[in-house]
Amino acid sequence: MVNLKAVKCPTDELSYTNCVYGSPTDFTQDIQYVEVFTAPNTSFVFKLATHPEIQKGALGFNYTGRKWGDISVNQNLDVKPFYFSPTATAQCLSTMTLEADYFLKKHANAAETFDSDKMAQQFHFQFTNYPFTVGQEIAFNYIDVEKEREKVLLLKVVSLEAADMTAIKAGQDAKTIKTRMGRCLGDTLIIFNKKEGSPLNLVGKAKGKEARVSIINPNWDFGKMGIGGLDTEFNAIFRRAFASRVFPPEVVEQLGCKHVKGILLFGPPGTGKTLMARQIGKMLNAREPKIVNGPQILDKYVGESEANVRRLFAEAEEEEKRLGPNSGLHIIILDEMDAICKARGSTGGNTGVHDTVVNQLLAKIDGVDQLNNILIIGMTNRRDMIDEALLRPGRLEVQMEIGLPNEHGRVQILKIHTNKMYEFDKIAPDVDIKELGALTKNFSGAELEGLVRAAQSTAMNRLIKAASKVEVDPEAMKKLRIERGDFLHALENDIKPAFGTAGEALDNFLRRGIINWGHPVAGILEDGGLLSQQARSTETSGLVSVLLEGPPNAGKTALAAMLAKNSDFPFVKVCSPEDMVGFTEQAKCMMIRKVFDDAYRSSLSCILVDNIERLLDYGPIGPRYSNLTLQALLVLLKKQPPLGRKLLILCTTSRKQVLEDMEMLSGFTAVLHVPNLNKPEHLLAVLEESHIFNPKQLQMIAKKVHGQRVFIGIRKLLALVDLVRQTDEESRVRKFLTKMEEEGCLGETGIN
């Protein structure tokens, strides 16, 4: 053992060899390794080389060697030769695991990759027969000939495994054991791991399995998501958008798979789009999601809207440059996306603000400088308004319709919103959630929540004493129970679904009810019922359109309303000219289109289009009509609803010939004729139903109309009955018959 003074390496090039350099006068050629003692019971083994510039009594160390051994320059050290025994246990290394990082941080570049297989080859070339100890740091000069680059990496020995020579001597199968120090051989397996937080990007088979943070938050409970009725949609989103992020990066790399960058959630208002986006943000173990409403992007100053888009991606862009594939996931949630992502060229004016915002968004998601560490979740009620370029694969490629919940989904949602009431025993035993789920057809999630709130307010109102002062019953806490009646009251009076039955309009059409005055009415109701069943049937195309035609005042609208009501479809909407008075042609087309679009969102829908000729602005003088509205109706009457949806269209007209000239009749599945009353027995059936005449008066009228032809519409007849009702009982028959003759509804000719 000799005492030597620590000095620096003679040249920088020699620092990369990771040897210690001694004087030729201190060491003979047969000494390959030395053991350096820095303190009692503390020693380090180095590869030894001699160099003429090292003076006698000195030993040269590079920077990493001095740092690892905690050696200072000019420190006196005890040094002695070290010899590896070929038969010694745990000295011949079988596997080395190294942690890699840039030696100088200023040279870090996350965009460049390092082939770990080539690194292992060079490591063997430079360091075979070198001794290594766990915790040792090494300067590794990596030269990539193909890419013409040279980088100095800092390697740290993480773990060593050596061959168990004892087992080999005993003739047993070769085994490996963990060891603190050993010698690297030509066949030692070299594994490189990236240092945690390092931007170093390793590829190749020699790369170790990195400790990976799961993309799914470990504390996340899928059972407590609070998303009712969207199990299928959430599973589909998870499969498309997150399954690839759950697998280890090396598996994804082997598949050549790219992660999904964007999701578009679309559907009617109140169906849970924003809730699902919020829950996805919580579920993922990623950066805090950025939630932005579409209109917030827009700015009155030139260029600021585009700058706002760039700011959304700035943080992800900076981290992508710094860490490359190791960057965390950045989530951007864009609500009301149609406000900023309209189809380019569709907006009026000459500013083109929306177009440039869309262009900027496209460039950031999947442009030349695309980002791989982002997930954009867009939400809109109007998918048709979104620019098509955003919807292609590579951008918002996962497009999921969040529709109205089915009965099972409604039960789930109601359970979520009544969970607290059940927990604290504030709901009566007579409340059946499954019954409420069946009663709330076409309710959205938001409307179901509103229903629960309305029932709660009804129950609370029972315990409020409204005297001179508003007071609450002192026993309110104990007495308060939400009962079945509270929910039914809320259903009847407070909450009506936006996509539900147009009950008021239908009730208005059926104010006088349907009087079955003869076979024609019964036949229409029977045929209409069969056509409704045809629309509902799973074997059919899903579209049934029916035209009820007949003379004015024949009761076509009332019969159509009755057919719509009897169909028991959860979605029934009325498209009537009276709702579009003063509308321009474009506005009228948009209104009609909206009714049909809303109908496509329900599984079973019925649309009542009343008085088509008035809707088309038809006038007999001229004649003139709106060709734009006509073409829109022709297209929509023949358009098949989406797969799995059923649509029944009921139309009424008093101008069958006009519709035939317009080539509309071919667009209907069936045409039902609604006639006027044309027989005395028809007339008497209506009068008997009206209860305005006594039996003797009815006999007088029957005698008078016997043998004569009757021709009058049911609506006109009921108006005449209402007029006669205002007279005294003795003169009613005379007045009725007189009016019938004056109106031309009674006589031999039967001309109206």
For residue range 495-541, list pLDDT tens digits in order.
Answer: 888 776 677 788 888 888 888 888 888 999 999 999 999 988 877 78
pLDDT category at 547 given cuts 50, 70, 90 is very high
Q: Which residue has better confidence, 113 or 183?
A: 183
661 & 538 share domain: yes
Q: What is the pLDDT of residue 751?
A: 39
pLDDT of residue 2 exceeding 90: no
Residue 593 located in a structural domain? yes
Please provide the average confidence, as pLDDT, over all residues in the chain. 83
pLDDT category at 649 given cuts 50, 70, 90 is very high
Cis peptide before 695 (omega within 30 of 0): no
Q: What is the pLDDT of residue 749?
A: 45
Cβ pair 128, 32 in contact under 8 A: no
What sign does the CA torsion over 362, 363, 365, 368 have?
Answer: positive
CA atoms within 13 A on the CB side of 418: 29
Q: What is the pLDDT of residue 376?
A: 87
Residue 214 located in a structural domain? no
Per the DSSP assignment, residues forming a β-bridge with 191 are 97
Q: What is the pLDDT of residue 546?
A: 93
User: How would you class 657 by CB atoms within 10 Å of its CB: exposed for 0-12, middle for 13-18, buried for 19 or more?
Assistant: exposed
What sign does the CA torsion over 80, 84, 90, 96 have?
Answer: positive
590 & 664 share domain: yes
Q: Concatenate the DSSP letters of all residues of 434-492 into one string.
A: HHHHHH-TT--HHHHHHHHHHHHHHHHHHTEEESSSEEE-TTHHHH--B-HHHHHHIII
- The CA-based angle 37-38-40, given to 5 degrees, is 75
How many domains does the chain divide into? 6
The full 3-state SS of 381-399, as one line of letters, equals: CCHHHECHHHHCCCCCCEE
521 & 591 share domain: yes
Alpha-carbon distance of 724 to 743, in angstroms, equals: 14
pLDDT category at 467 given cuts 50, 70, 90 is low
Checking phi first, is residue 204 left (phi over 0); if not, alpha (psi -120 to 50) or beta?
left
Q: Which residue has better confidence, 363 or 73?
A: 73
The closest alpha carbon to 633, from 615, 621, 652, 617, belongs to: 615
Task: Give the helix/strand (H/E) hosting 581.
Answer: none
For 3, 46, 284, the CA distances from 83, given in Å and listed in that order, are 19, 11, 54
Tokens of 223: 């059972």
Q: Specify the residue for token string 């649509």.
A: 647
Cβ pair 122, 143 in contact under 8 A: yes
pLDDT of residue 208 exceeding 90: no
* Lowest-confidence region among 82-91, 337-346, 380-389, 576-585: 82-91
Q: What is the pLDDT of residue 131?
A: 92
Cβ pair 558, 517 in contact under 8 A: no
The DSSP 8-state label assigned to residue 494 in this structure reads: I
Q: Is the pTM of this model over 0.85?
A: no
Quick one: average pLDDT of 653-677? 89
* Lowest-confidence region among 565-574, 601-610, 657-666, 702-711: 702-711
Cβ pair 167, 90 in contact under 8 A: no
* Lowest-confidence region among 149-158, 281-290, 706-715: 281-290
74 & 97 share domain: no
Length of the chain: 752
* Lowest-confidence region among 30-44, 246-260, 574-588, 651-665: 246-260
325 & 431 share domain: no
604 & 695 share domain: no
* Lowest-confidence region among 183-192, 205-214, 322-331: 205-214
pLDDT of residue 651 exceeding 90: yes
97 & 46 share domain: no
198 & 231 share domain: no
Alpha-carbon distance of 223 to 205, in angstroms, equals: 39
* Lowest-confidence region among 390-404, 435-449, 460-474: 460-474
304 & 270 share domain: yes
531 & 634 share domain: yes
Per the DSSP assignment, residues forming a β-bridge with 43 are 37
The closest alpha carbon to 501, from 438, 563, 569, belongs to: 569
Q: What is the pLDDT of residue 736?
A: 85
The one-letter amino acid code at 438 reads A
Residue 211 located in a structural domain? no
For residue range 697-713, list pLDDT tens digits in order.
Answer: 888 888 888 878 888 88
For residue 711, the domain's CATH number is 1.10.8.60
483 CB-near residues (< 8 Å, 6+ apart): 428, 430, 431, 459
Residue 87 located in a structural domain? no
Quick one: average pLDDT of 461-488? 76
For residue range 632-641, list pLDDT tens digits in order.
Answer: 999 999 999 8
Alpha-carbon distance of 221 to 228, in angstroms, equals: 15
Output phi, psi for 598, to 5 deg. -65, -35
Quick one: average pLDDT of 468-474? 69
- Range of 483's domain? 407-466+473-494
For residue 144, the domain's CATH number is 3.10.330.10
pLDDT of residue 369 exceeding 70: no
Task: Give the helix/strand (H/E) hosting 606.
Answer: strand 604-609
Q: Concatenate the DSSP letters of all residues of 530-573 into one string.
A: HHHHHHH-TTS-SEEEEEEE-STTSSHHHHHHHHHHHHT-SEEE
Q: What is the pLDDT of residue 752?
A: 37
Alpha-carbon distance of 51 to 10, in angstroms, equals: 8
Per the DSSP assignment, residues forming a β-bridge with 33 are 47, 82
Residue 151 located in a structural domain? yes
Residue 210 located in a structural domain? no
Residue 364 located in a structural domain? yes
For residue range 246-262, list pLDDT tens digits in order.
Answer: 776 667 777 777 788 88
636 & 532 share domain: yes
For residue 520, the domain's CATH number is 3.40.50.300
Q: Specify the residue for token string 């006196």.
A: 76
List the strands of the sheet with 604-609, edge to edge.
571-575, 604-609, 646-653, 543-549, 670-673
* Lowest-confidence region among 97-111, 442-456, 737-751: 737-751
pLDDT category at 750 given cuts 50, 70, 90 is very low
pLDDT category at 116 given cuts 50, 70, 90 is confident
Cβ pair 514, 559 in contact under 8 A: yes
Checking phi first, is residue 514 left (phi over 0); if not, alpha (psi -120 to 50) or beta?
beta
* Lowest-confidence region among 47-51, 165-169, 330-334: 165-169
Checking phi first, is residue 610 left (phi over 0); if not, alpha (psi -120 to 50) or beta?
beta
